[in-house]
């Protein structure tokens, strides 16, 4: 059974809990996860953590990158700048 946020009972692991039922290869799953980031620093930290935990899963890494880019665009539309993200990336 598939939902709009990428839930799929055949895939494992929420990025932090190990709960079954989450499709970590779906950018929708990661966008939902990254939606909790309200600042560039938080998004950069969350994306790095997700990438480290999924470093052996190429499809998940691609999904993480797509979701990170989409969330970054949302935060830029909310008033942050690309420089905010460059600074966050260099500081962490």
CA separation for the pair 32, 65 (Å, rounded): 13
Average pLDDT over every residue of 38-57: 97
33 or 27: which leads in pLDDT: 33
pLDDT of residue 91: 84
Q: Is 44 exposed, middle or buried (0-12, 13-18, 19+ CB in 10 A)?
A: buried
pLDDT of residue 22: 56
pLDDT in tens, 73-83: 999 999 999 99
pTM for the model stands at 0.73
């Amino acid at each position: 059974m598939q939902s709009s946020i990428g839930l799929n009972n055949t895939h494992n692991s929420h990025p932090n809990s190990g709960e079954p039922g989450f499709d970590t290869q779906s950018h929708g799953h990661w966008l939902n996860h990254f939606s909790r980031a309200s600042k560039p620093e938080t998004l950069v930290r969350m994306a790095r953590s997700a990438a480290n935990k999924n470093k052996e899963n190429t499809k998940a890494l691609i999904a993480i990158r797509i979701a990170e880019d989409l969330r970054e665009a949302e935060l830029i539309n909310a008033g942050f700048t690309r420089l905010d993200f460059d600074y966050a990336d260099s500081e962490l």
